[in-house]
Amino acid sequence: MILTVTPNPAIDLTYRVAALEPGETHRVAPPTARAGGKGLNVARVIGQTGGASFVLTTAGGASGLRLADDLEASGLPSELIPVAAPTRSSVAIVDEGSGVATIFNETGAGLSPAEWTALREAVERLAVPATAIVGSGSLPPGAPESIYADLVEVARRRGIPSIVDASGTALLAAAEAGADVLKPNRRELADTVGSDDPVAGARVLLSAGAGLVLVSLGADGMLAVGASRTWSARLPRPLAGNATGAGDAAVAAIATALGAGTTDPAVLVRRATAWSAAAVVAPLAGELDPAYPEYEARLVTS
């Protein structure tokens, strides 16, 4: 069972328009609404691919009740930490002509010290049956910078791998704690370490203590950077679609492989790139094109 921890979940609203025209009025059908947040998307992908996952997240206000209802309806095993602040929303507007998605993410509201303590205690308890722990997504304002580092420490004590998908000081803290795999995208990595070179940026995180860094490069695929080697994978041609959940699919691939005992970076980067690509052409974040097993055979690797 892979434990996914999402401190800042959201209700994901996805609108579709024939063509997005800034400054104009658009008439749209009601949006697709579902419980979202990066860790929830990771768990959905793990479930679709036949794995077992458990969602640990927070929920507050009327929107938190909506999130809880959707998780129950989806059949995802979960535990929700009650919080006072309402669960935030995330809005995706998909231009069906170009396939490009424009995203508006609310920052969310801060949690109290007691609520953070409850989340940490739940991680300790739920890590007991887990085969890997994933910490992913943004943090609400005022969050402890060590929250993902604490997760890494729990995983280390349990003797299981940890994967963190974050940015900024939370990403650096996870590296210093010795996370097995970090999975930022190119922009998150540059913003965190101050280098536009993904290899150089990844090596900063490796020097801090991370075991392996996988960097999402968008249409250019993915790069895995280890202590002495790099590996890359990409499709021969970029895919058109909604890339909102592509990084989460990559994390699901990494967690599934590590949880099964696979640690070869060449395998990890191929699987992560293939699942990420399959997510781009799926209609919603947290889903893969059913033909996802075929994507890996089409990759260009080095």
Percent of the chain at pLDDT above 70?
100
* Residue-wise burial string across 39-77, b where 16 or more C-beta atoms lie within 10 A, e elsewhere: bbbbbbbbbbbebebbbbbbbbeebbebbbebbeebebe
Helix (H) or strand (E) holding 41: helix 38-48
- Among 124, 113, 131, 128, smallest CA distance to 150 is for 124
Give tens-digit pLDDT for 213-251: 999 998 899 999 999 999 999 998 878 777 778 999 999
174 and 145 Cβ atoms separated by less than 8 Å: no
Give tens-digit pLDDT for 147-182: 999 999 999 999 999 999 999 999 999 999 999 999
Nearby residues of 285 by Cβ (< 8 Å), 6 or more positions away: 12, 36, 41, 92, 242, 244, 245, 248, 279
Running DSSP on this structure, what letter comes out for residue 237?
S
| Mean predicted confidence (pLDDT) in 186-193 | 95
User: Does the pLDDT of residue 281 top 80, yes or no?
Assistant: yes
Catalytic machinery residues: 248
Question: Whole-prediction pTM value?
Answer: 0.93
